[in-house]
């Protein structure tokens, strides 16, 4: 009998050990450590490494050459080893912001094993940390009423496939009968319907601005702008296909042509205010491009338009009717007097010149718009800023 009990106990212990094996993978060092003065220390235990660096958007930028041109990218800093632990502390306090970083060990880029918080941007997976204060407090989960973020499938008759949206409904939506305005928020090239809720902190920004009385309660619909895809990588019938920028049906008219399918689904499914004055559209980079062309293609659909670091003109190979008669369509759109046409970009953005040229065209035509310029380039730091600036101006 004792042998049976002992055997059962050993089996139980073994089962618990297997089930709880993650408990024993404790972080070997503290990293990142945010100090009281907002300097930050990064550490990595790697006694056999010859060289360790940290790279991230908290460091001075450097030029990086890509197939799409030259961009400002994150810089690098060397860590110093003591007893097998490599360490680097920022020489200056960091400004409030959500930051990302990775380590480079003997030329191999790795994530920080001491930091479980990571985020994916197209094919890059980086660790993240947040320095609070100022605008960055809008990126936190604060003690305020929270909205709901849902992953919702809809059918697009125009594209002939089922596709997925990320939808934010404000706090109290489920309990009430009120109808809400809708903001359609679009991502950039290589992104997907998860980008704004994960990288952009859209739900936290909306929760906090609404709680502070700075924004109207609204529904936010975050689409997948890659018209050939059902959903984000790893979350569709394609399985664990590798994310890529080289996708068909992105900026050749398919997404713009099919966009009424999204609006019709949202109006049929949610308690929306179903009119132009209660609809906004905005997005970053490719999403700004889509917002520009969708809003002029359907001039009675959106009263608020936001172009965040937007691509402007279509490629010469894009032959869709969506892009025909640009000036005539803009004339119709602005004759209908949109409540807000908002353009924002960083002064070091590779699309800065294109935006200047587009603004010059609007100026010559006498079309009113609001312009907002920041420093730096084509980065999520700017796009989160633009979201916090744009949202309070909607539906007033």
Tens-digit pLDDT profile for residues 277-317: 999 999 999 999 999 999 999 999 999 999 999 999 998 88
pTM beyond 0.85: the answer is yes
Q: What are the C-alpha distances in Å from 78 to residues 45, 82, 105? A: 14, 13, 10
Quote the mean pLDDT of the chain. 92
pLDDT per residue over 136-155, tens digit each?
Answer: 999 999 999 999 999 999 99
Nearest to 192 by CA among 164, 220, 168: 164
Q: Which domains does the chain have, with CATH numbers?
A: 25-132 (2.60.40.10), 141-393 (3.40.50.1820)
| The predicted structure's pLDDT at residue 290 | 98
Residues 6+ apart with CB under 8 A from 225: 186, 187, 191, 192, 250, 255, 283, 286, 287, 290
Distance CA 199, CA 387 (A): 12
Pair type for strands 279-284 and 182-186: parallel
């Amino acid at each position: 009998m004792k042998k049976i009990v002992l055997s059962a106990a050993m089996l139980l212990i073994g089962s618990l050990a297997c089930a709880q094996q993650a408990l024993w993978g404790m972080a070997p060092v503290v990293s990142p450590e945010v100090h009281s003065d907002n300097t930050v220390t990064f550490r990595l235990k790697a006694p056999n490494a010859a060289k360790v660096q940290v790279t991230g958007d908290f460091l001075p930028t450097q030029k990086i050459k890509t197939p799409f041109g030259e961009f400002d990218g994150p810089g690098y800093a060397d860590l110093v080893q003591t007893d097998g632990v490599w360490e680097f502390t920022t020489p200056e306090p960091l400004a409030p912001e959500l930051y990302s970083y990775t380590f480079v060990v003997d030329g191999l880029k790795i994530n920080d094993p001491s930091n479980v918080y990571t985020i994916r941007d197209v094919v890059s997976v980086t660790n993240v940390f947040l320095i609070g204060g100022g605008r960055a407090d809008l990126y936190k989960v604060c003690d305020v009423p929270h909205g709901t973020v849902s992953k919702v499938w809809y059918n697009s008759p125009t594209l002939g496939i089922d596709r997925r949206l990320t939808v934010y409904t404000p706090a109290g939506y489920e309990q009430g009968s009120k109808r809400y305005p809708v903001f359609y928020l679009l991502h950039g090239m290589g992104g997907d319907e998860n980008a704004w809720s994960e990288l952009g902190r859209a739900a936290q920004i909306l929760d906090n601005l609404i709680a502070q009385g700075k924004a109207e309660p609204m529904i936010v619909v975050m689409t997948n702008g890659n018209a050939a895809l059902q959903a984000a990588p790893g979350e569709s019938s394609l399985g664990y296909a590798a994310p890529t920028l080289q996708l068909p049906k992105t900026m050749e008219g398919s997404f713009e042509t099919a966009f009424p399918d999204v609006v019709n689904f949202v109006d049929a499914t949610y308690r929306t205010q179903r009119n132009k004055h209660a609809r906004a559209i905005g997005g970053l980079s490719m999403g700004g491009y889509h917002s520009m062309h969708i809003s002029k293609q359907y001039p009675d659909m959106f009263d608020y338009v936001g172009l965040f670091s937007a691509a402007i003109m279509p490629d010469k190979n894009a032959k869709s009717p969506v892009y025909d008669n640009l000036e005539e369509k803009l004339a119709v759109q602005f004759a209908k007097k949109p409540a807000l046409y908002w353009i924002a970009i960083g002064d070091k953005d590779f699309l800065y010149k294109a935006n200047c040229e587009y603004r010059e065209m609007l100026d010559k035509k006498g079309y009113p718009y609001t312009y907002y310029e920041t420093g730096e380039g084509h980065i999520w730091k700017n796009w989160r800023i633009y979201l916090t600036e744009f949202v309070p101006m909607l539906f007033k």
